[in-house]
Amino acid sequence: MNTREIKIKITEFSELSELTKDDQKLLQMAADSASQSYAPYSEFHVGAAVLLENGEIICGSNQENAAYPAGLCAERVALFYANSKFPGIAVKSLAISAHADHFVMNKPISPCGTCRQVIAETESRQKNKIKILMRGESGPVNMTEGIENLLPLTFYEEKLKKK
């Protein structure tokens, strides 16, 4: 028997001003996008902003549905749209921000498991890590470089690809 410990690396910034101007801007765009979400059921508003290697920024927000599972998280709305509009262009950074109608979201949002898997597919496709910035409406920012830190033992299976 052998027990392995896996380390993850998350950097916490207590002030927004500790971030680069570009990262601050990306988080602000994610926050603006959260305000445009369609979230009448959860009343929890999430925005994501994706910075691409060509400098384009694509935003998305959560889109809910009366049939709950038909809705989609902000991260997937943004990542799927980015790759539809700019197929083959790598994602450099992903900023995620959230606020709620009925409580103060003063800690960083952390993407759901399915979105983590989609971020993992994006990294695997482009063979480069993504910088992920996470924030609530206030409070600290969490930053990590690479989905491995949010999804250790990630499921990748190159052999599933037919070519």
Task: Give the torsion through C-alpha atoms of 147, 148, 151, 152, to 10 deg.
Answer: 180
CA 113 vs CA 2, 4, 118, 143: distances in Å: 27, 22, 9, 17
Among the listed ranges 4-12, 41-49, 51-59, 87-95, the one in contact with ligand THU (CB under 6 A) is 41-49
Nearest CB to ligand THU, comparing residues 31 and 74: 74
Burial code (b: 16+ CB inside 10 Å, e: under 16) for 148-163 equals bbbbeebeeeeeeeee
Assign 131 to helix, strand or coil: strand
Decide if 157 is catalytic.
no
Smallest distance, ligand THU to C-beta of residue 66, A:
12
Q: What's the closest the beta carbon of residue 84 comes to ligand THU, in angstroms?
A: 18
Task: Report the residue from 73, 119, 130, 132 that binds ligand THU according to the rule CB under 6 A.
Answer: 73
| CA–CA dist 32, 2 (Å, integer) | 47
The footprint of ligand THU on residues 88-127 (CB under 6 A) is 109, 111-112, 115
Does the footprint of ligand THU cover residue 135 (CB under 6 A)?
A: no
Tell me which of 75, 121, 137, 158 is the catalytic residue: 75
Residues marked as catalytic: 75
**Which residues are near ligand THU by CB under 6 A?**
39, 42, 44, 46, 62, 64, 71, 73-75, 109, 111-112, 115
